[in-house]
Amino acid sequence: MLFCHNLQKDLKFLMHNMQYVLLYLKKNSTFGVIEIKKTYCISISSRYGIIDDIESSNCTNHVVTIYNNYRRSSVFSNDVSISGICRSIDKSIIMSKYINVDKYLRCPDINLLYKNNKTISIFFPKLFSLKEIKNLVNITDFYALNFDSKITSTEGSVFEYFIDLKILGNSCDWIGTRMSTRYYLSSCVVASSQGCMERDFSYTTARDFEDLDKPAEIGKSSARKSIAKLNSKKIATQISPIIIKSDISYELFIDLKRAINGYAVYKKSTFLLNCMDKQIFPTWLNIFENPFLDKGLSSNLFDNEGIATVSRKIINNGVLKTWLLDTYSANRLNIPTTGHSGGTYNWLISTKKKFIQSFNQILDSMYTGFLVTELFGDGVNIVTGDYSRGACGFWIDHGKIKHPVHGVTISGNILDMWNNMITLANDINSGNSIQCASILIDKVQISGF
């Protein structure tokens, strides 16, 4: 059996080590935060019914962060033994003496630490045999290859399974634990017709194996998407409405995360610097952050400093309501931390509109325009908001797909794009930490031939 591990035994061992090294840390009369992490991973890929690759890993590591008179230093190591972590504590204390004083480098507020008063369901371990996983990837590949005669090759189907054990502790005798699982299944195939070749992929990911899409559907989806891209054309440069498909619409909000990150704010390197409590999206759009979503891909009870997470409105009726802060950036701005050390949590993008259209209905609403299914590059300037990214997809005429499109660039200012959003569809993509539907946006600059 694969992943036949005694997880409770491993957790008990790591917890014992954490309790001991925290005692050692306290003897040094220094405040510190220690993270111990263990990750199990199995990855299997298959091509043409033959297992192409099997990888199994079992990684452990720890990070010691010391706060010493407005100085901070960190040491990383793969040795999670008691002696190994104690050596890291000693090194970090010595290193901290040679770091410049920074009055904002203060330890996290112990009153804001997670108090073990909530639970979330993100841990769904499962035992597999090699035969079961081989069958899973082979079914995916089979349905992709046999979908249509235009499918001429496969780059393989991949299954991955992760188990994460994480223990975080500090000098105040606070300890938090987190156990999570994640499953992933994908397919990538090549389609050919009239001398043209295209490839595309489909995937599914979830905390619980039972929530993955069926392997046959993943295989068919990758084949369908590859065929649909064949014989694509360029389009003329123009200003046109666009629809960003739910598969990739979350990317518009990744730029929001970057722009309201505390480090960008205190460095004054964000185009949203003066936009707190101001409207930056249409009044019908809301973004709610929920760290406690069961099976959520970014659910967490505490951040990397042990600060308890909180549900909050990121955008309320189009208005920006918060920055994303850890302790240091919060100190720089002289406001409380928001518990975002290590990243954000589940973002739920929603609309206040009473009638929510289907994807086909927003195609009809657009009537003529560009349906974006892929975005390329990282052409977003967070300082100015300037936006320029390569794209491909389909040209829509009379609400119907006319032909595939390649070789175009979408450009403008992302703040204008946000404000020009017309509506969301009802096809929410829940397989992402930013859960969003397809978005219709008006008046976007498209550069073609």
* DSSP labels, 109-151: PGGGB--S-----------B-HHHHHHHHHHHHHHHHTS-TTE
- pTM (predicted TM-score): 0.93
Q: d(Cα 446, Cα 241) in Å, to the nearest integer?
A: 9
Q: d(Cα 204, Cα 111) in Å, to the nearest integer?
A: 39
Say if CB 65 and CB 41 are below 8 A apart.
no
pLDDT for the residue numbered 128: 86
Say if CB 20 and CB 37 are below 8 A apart.
no
Say if CB 181 and CB 59 are below 8 A apart.
no
pLDDT for the residue numbered 354: 74
Q: Which residues contact 368 (CB under 8 A, 6 or more apart)?
A: 240, 241, 396, 397, 398
pLDDT for the residue numbered 356: 83
Q: d(Cα 295, Cα 123) in Å, to the nearest integer?
A: 8
pLDDT for the residue numbered 449: 84
Token code pair at residue 232: 């694509």
Mean pLDDT by groups of 10 residues along the chain of 449 residues? 69 95 90 95 92 91 94 95 96 94 93 92 92 93 94 95 96 94 97 92 96 96 96 94 96 96 97 97 97 96 96 97 97 96 96 86 95 92 95 95 95 96 94 95 94
Nearest CA to 295 among 407, 207, 383, 409? Answer: 207
Say if CB 278 and CB 260 are below 8 A apart.
no
pLDDT for the residue numbered 76: 97
pLDDT for the residue numbered 29: 79
Go through 311-350 and write b for each residue having 16 or more CB atoms within 10 A of its CB, e for each that does not: ebebbbebbbebbbbbbbbbbbeeeebbbbbeebbbbbbb
Give the end-to-end CA distance of the chain in Å, rounded to a whole number.
Answer: 56
Strand bridging mode 31-47 / 439-447: unpaired
Token code pair at residue 389: 């990214």
Its CATH class, for the domain covering 4-229, is alpha beta
Tell me how crowded residue 9 is: count the other CB atoms within 10 A of its CB: 9
CATH 3.30.2290.10 domain locations along the chain: 4-229
DSSP state of 301: S
